[in-house]
Amino acid sequence: MRILVTNDDGIRAEGLRRLVRVARSHGVVKVSAPDTERSACSHAMTMRDPLRVKPFDWPESDVEAYHVNGFPSDCVNAGLTVAWPDGCDLVLSGINNGPNLGFDATYSGTVGGAMEGTINGIRSIAVSMACFVDDAPLHYETGERWLLENLADLVALPAKPLTLLNVNIPAIAYEEIAGTKVASMGQRVYEDRMELRSDPWGRPYYWQGGVAVVSPDQPGTDVEAVSQGYVAVTPITLDWTDRDYAEVIRHELTATART
> Which residues, other chains included, contact 224 with Cβ-Cβ below 8 Å and sequence gap of 6+?
183, 186, 216, 217, 218
- Give SS3 for 168: strand
Domain presence at residue 208 = no
Read off the CATH number of the domain in which 39 is found: 3.40.1210.10
What's the CA gap between 223 and 230, in Å, rounded? 10
Determine the residue type at 32. Answer: S
Return the exposure string of 227-238: e unless at least 16 CB atoms fall within 10 Å of the residue's CB, then b: beebbbbbebee
Domain presence at residue 58 = yes
Domain presence at residue 97 = yes
Domain presence at residue 26 = yes
Phi/psi class of residue 160: alpha, beta or left (left: φ > 0; alpha: ψ in -120 to 50)?
Answer: beta
CA gyration radius, the chain: 20
Count structural domains, the chain. Answer: 1
The tens place of each residue's pLDDT in the chain, 259 residues long, gives 999 999 999 999 999 999 999 999 999 999 999 999 999 999 999 999 999 999 999 999 999 999 999 999 999 999 999 999 999 999 999 999 999 999 899 999 999 999 999 999 999 999 999 987 667 889 999 999 999 999 999 999 999 999 999 999 999 999 999 999 999 999 876 666 688 899 999 999 988 766 666 666 789 999 999 999 999 999 999 999 999 999 999 999 988 776 6
Report DSSP state, residue 199. -
Question: Which of 63, 120, 57, 62 has its CA nearest to residue 90?
Answer: 120
In sequence order, which ranges of the chain are alpha helices (DSSP H)? 14-24, 72-78, 104-107, 109-119, 140-156, 222-227, 243-258
Domain presence at residue 199 = no
- Give SS3 for 64: strand
Domain presence at residue 196 = no
Question: Which of 93, 99, 94, 92 has its CA nearest to residue 171?
Answer: 99
Question: Which of 171, 177, 213 has its CA nearest to residue 193?
Answer: 213
pTM exceeds 0.95? no
Domain presence at residue 192 = no
Domain presence at residue 153 = yes
Residue 138: which domain range?
A: 2-186+217-258
